Amino acid sequence: MSACQPRHGGQTGFVNVLITAGPTREPIDPVRFLTNRSSGKMGYALAHAFIHAGHHVLLVSGPTHLDVPDYVDFIPVTTAAEMNEVVAQHIGRMDIAVFVAAVADYTPVLTEAHKIKKDGERMTLELVKTPDILGSARGAFGFGGTLVGFAAETENLEENARKKLLGKGCDLVIGNDVSSPGHGFDSDHNEVVLVHPGRTESIPSAPKTEIAHDLVDAILKIHRTKESS
């Protein structure tokens, strides 16, 4: 089952979870775009794991080739601006927000109406920053729930993940080294570090579907601790 509007919990212990997943595509012209190698597999696995744990999930996803998990509420988007708009609209009713999507950092200033023809040895493409969706959660969006970010890195994994944790107001940042052979974007496996405000823990290499269940347990533990404090 999928829908364009999220369901809202009324059952004790159920939480509403927003998950972003996949890449974004930033159009250059009608046939070209800027994107990245994100497959969406980790975000979709997390959506399935939260559903399996009995919770309500709104999955906001950029373009992927994956089947939408059963029973999630699903909103497809293409660009970073579209993802930002959907998150801004729905995050206020959520208890947990998990930002897994690999959102493009920059988008072309201008999108050409027609295909750009090959003319000359060089072409300059002017780019502008996209909205900082995770960075807007606490401030512009006023989200007070449990906030989880992902950090896909190729170096200084823990250091960069901790910078994101502190800079974005997250309760947890999950870091993964996408340059590690057999892990990351296109792979069915991953290995991650969980960066908390006062400590770091590791989850060794395993299928993303298995890691997703471990992450759900960790996220729910943080959420319940916050709720009871």
Pairwise CA distance, residues 210 & 189, whole Å: 9
Pairwise CA distance, residues 70 & 63, whole Å: 18
- Residue 86's nearest CA partner among 150, 141, 11 is 141
List beta partners, residue 146.
96
Pairwise CA distance, residues 214 & 195, whole Å: 14
Pairing state between β 73-76 and 32-34: unpaired
- Residue 43's nearest CA partner among 102, 2, 131 is 102
The CA–CA distances, whole Å, from 182 to 46, 81, 96 equal 19, 31, 30
Position 115: which residue type?
K
Residue 107, number of CB atoms within 10 A of its CB:
21
Instruction: Please give the DSSP secondary-structure letter assigned to residue 91.
Output: G
Annotation says 36 is catalytic: yes
Catalytic residue among 16, 36, 156, 190: 36
Active site residues: 36
